[in-house]
Chains A and B, each alone.
Chain A
Amino acid sequence: MIENIERDSQGEGSSAIEAKTESDTCIDIEKLNLYYSKDIHALRDITLSIPRNKVTAFIGPSGCGKSSLLRCFNRMNDLIDDCHIKGKVRIYDHDIYEKRIDVADLRRRVGMVFQKPNPFPKSVYENVAYGLRIQGINSRRILDEVVEDALRAAALWDEVKDRLDDNALELSGGQQQRLVIARTIAVEPDVLLLDEPASSLDPISTLRIEELISELRANYSILIVTHNMQQAARVSDFAAFMDMGRLVEFDSTNILFTNPSERQTEDYITGRYG
Chain B
Amino acid sequence: MSKANNSALTAAERLRKQAIGRRKYRETLDCAATATISLGGIGILATLVMLLAYLIYVVRPLFVPAEISPVATFSTAPSQAMRLSPVLLSIDERSEFVLRLDQSAQFSLIDLGSESIVQTSRLPVAQSAEVSAVALSTGERTMMAIGLNSGEVLLVSAEYDTAARPEAGARDVSPLHSYPFGRLPLFTMSEPVSGLAISQQGDEIQVVAVGANGQIELATGKRQSSLTALLNPSSVPEYEWTVAISEAHVSGASRVFIDGDHQHVFALDSDGRLIAFSIRGLHEGGAESFSSDAIANQPGKVVDAEMLVGGRSLMIADDLGQIGQWFFDVRSGELLLHQARVFLAAQVPLHLLESEQRHKNIGAVDIDGVFRLFNTTADRLLAEQALVGEGIAAMTISPRGDLLLTESESGQFLTYQIDSPHPEISWSALWKRVWYEGYPDPAFVWQSSASGNVYEPKYSLMPLTFGTLKAAFYAMLLAAPLAVCGAIFTGYFMAPGMRRTVKPLVELMEALPSVVLGFLAGLWLAPFVEKNLLGVFVLVILLPVTILTASVAWMFFPRRLRHSIPEGWEAALLVPVIILISWFAIWVAGPFEFWLFGGDIKAWLGSELGLAYDQRNAMIVGFAMGFAVIPTIFSIAEDAIFTVPRQLSNGSLALGATPWQTLAKVILPMASPGIFSALMIGFGRAVGETMIVLMATGNTPIMDINIFEGMRTLAANIAVEVPETDVNGSHYRVLFLSALVLFAFTFLVNTIAELVRQRLRRRYSLI
Contact = CB atoms under 8 A, between A and B. Distances in A.
B656 A105 contact: yes
A104 B567 contact: no
Contacts of A121: 648, 669-670, 763-766
B665 A118 contact: no
Contact of B656 (A116, A167, A187): A187
B767 interface: yes
A268 interface: no
A119 B651 CA distance: 8
Nearest to A116: B647
Interface in A110-147: 111-112, 114, 116, 118-121, 130-131, 133-135
A118 B651 contact: yes
B647 A130 contact: no
A19 interface: no
B657 interface: yes
A81 B767 contact: no
B116 interface: no
A107 B654 contact: yes
Contacts of A111: 654-655
A170 interface: yes
Interface residues of A, number: 30
A131 B496 CA distance: 28
A130 B767 CA distance: 20
Given A81-B495, A121-B670, A167-B767, A130 B652 contact: yes
A111 B656 CA distance: 8
B767 A120 contact: no
A130 B496 CA distance: 28
B568 A81 contact: yes
A111 B496 CA distance: 27
A183 interface: yes
B652 A135 contact: no
Nearest to B644: A121
A112 B567 contact: no
A178 interface: no
A134 B496 contact: no
A167 B669 CA distance: 14
Interface string A216-241: 00000000000000000000000000
A169 B767 contact: yes
B657 A104 contact: yes
Given A134-B665, A167-B767, A107 B653 contact: yes
Contacts of A108: 655-656
Interface string A151-184: 0000000000000000101100000000010011
Interface in B465-504: 495-497
B650 A180 contact: no
B40 interface: no
A131 B654 CA distance: 9
B496 A81 contact: yes
Interface string A179-199: 010011001000000000000
Given A111-B654, A121-B763, A81 B647 contact: no
Nearest to B658: A104
B496 A76 contact: no
Contact of B648 (A74, A107, A120, A135): A120
A109 B497 CA distance: 32
Given A116-B647, A120-B666, A167-B767, A134 B655 contact: yes
B554 to A, nearest CB: 17
Nearest to A119: B651
A204 to B, nearest CB: 21
B442 interface: no
A131 B655 contact: yes
A241 B496 CA distance: 34
Given A107-B656, A130-B655, A134-B657, A114 B650 contact: yes
Contacts of B657: 104, 130-131, 134
A183 B655 CA distance: 8
Interface in A77-119: 79, 81, 104-109, 111-112, 114, 116, 118-119
Given A121-B765, A187-B656, A134 B651 contact: no
Contacts of B495: 81
B389 to A, nearest CB: 79
A114 B654 CA distance: 10
B645 interface: yes
A16 B766 CA distance: 40
B224 interface: no
Nearest to B655: A131
A81 B656 contact: no
Contacts of A81: 495-497, 567-568
Given A106-B656, A120-B648, A184-B655, 5 more contacts: A104-B657, A114-B647, A118-B650, A120-B666, A121-B670
- 8 closest residue pairs by CB, A with B: A108-B656, A118-B647, A112-B654, A118-B651, A169-B767, A131-B655, A134-B657, A107-B656
Interface of B: 495-497, 567-568, 645, 647-648, 650-658, 661, 665-666, 669-670, 763-767
29 contacts: A76-B653, A76-B654, A79-B650, A81-B497, A81-B567, A104-B653, A107-B654, A107-B655, A109-B656, A111-B654, A114-B650, A116-B647, A118-B645, A118-B650, A120-B651, A121-B669, A121-B763, A121-B764, A121-B766, A130-B652, A130-B657, A131-B655, A131-B657, A134-B656, A169-B765, A183-B651, A184-B655, A187-B655, A187-B656
